[in-house]
């Protein structure tokens, strides 16, 4: 269906999108949107977030939840090497790059304001996971 960027790229990218986009973004944000207290207990929402930021974060959780199902469909389709899925893969690719950049700058601004809610290690891991997954998704979509 597509020229692979490396052997089994469709499977690797599909699994990454399914884990980072489907599991961590879509399901994690769905929990945060529906039950913030549970989300903080299981670690998908910040416990120490100030009330003004919490409203914003719940809004982002709602938006991610409403759009995140597209990650799952694209991931399954690409893993199965279905041609239309490569076109749909543009969406999670772009959004994950956006998530990487916005999370880095959002948490950097919180830290500068004296309200750090994430460690530098977590920030680097989360930004890297999103940027790598999004970048590979865009590269694979571009090559299709």
Nearest Cα to 92, choosing from 7, 15, 28?
15
The answer to whether the Cα torsion of 94, 100, 106, 108 is positive or negative is negative
| 3-class secondary-structure state, position 144 | coil
138 HSE (CA, 13 A, CB side): 12
Say how many residues make up the chain.
144
Average pLDDT, the chain: 91
2 pLDDT tier (thresholds 50, 70, 90):
low
Q: Do 32 and 25 meet the contact criterion of CB atoms below 8 Å apart?
A: no
Q: Do 87 and 70 meet the contact criterion of CB atoms below 8 Å apart?
A: no
54 pLDDT tier (thresholds 50, 70, 90):
confident
Report pTM. 0.87
C-alpha radius of gyration, the chain, whole number: 16
Give the tens place of pLDDT for each residue, 89-144.
999 999 999 999 999 998 899 889 888 888 899 999 999 999 999 999 999 999 87
Q: Do 86 and 144 meet the contact criterion of CB atoms below 8 Å apart?
A: yes
Only one residue has tokens 């959002």, namely 106
């Amino acid at each position: 269906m597509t020229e692979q960027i490396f052997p089994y790229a469709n499977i690797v990218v599909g699994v990454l999108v399914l884990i980072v986009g489907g599991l961590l973004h879509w399901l994690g944000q769905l929990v945060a949107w529906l039950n913030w207290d549970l989300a903080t207990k299981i670690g998908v929402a910040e416990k120490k977030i100030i009330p003004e930021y919490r409203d914003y974060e719940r809004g982002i959780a709602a938006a991610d939840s409403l759009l995140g199902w597209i990650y799952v469909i694209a991931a399954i389709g690409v893993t199965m090497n279905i041609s239309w899925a490569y076109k749909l893969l543009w969406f999670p690719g772009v959004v994950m790059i956006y998530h990487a950049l916005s999370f880095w700058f959002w948490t950097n601004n919180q830290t500068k304001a004296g309200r750090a809610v994430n460690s530098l290690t977590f920030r680097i891991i989360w930004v890297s996971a999103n940027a790598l997954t999004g970048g590979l998704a865009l590269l694979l979509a571009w090559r299709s």
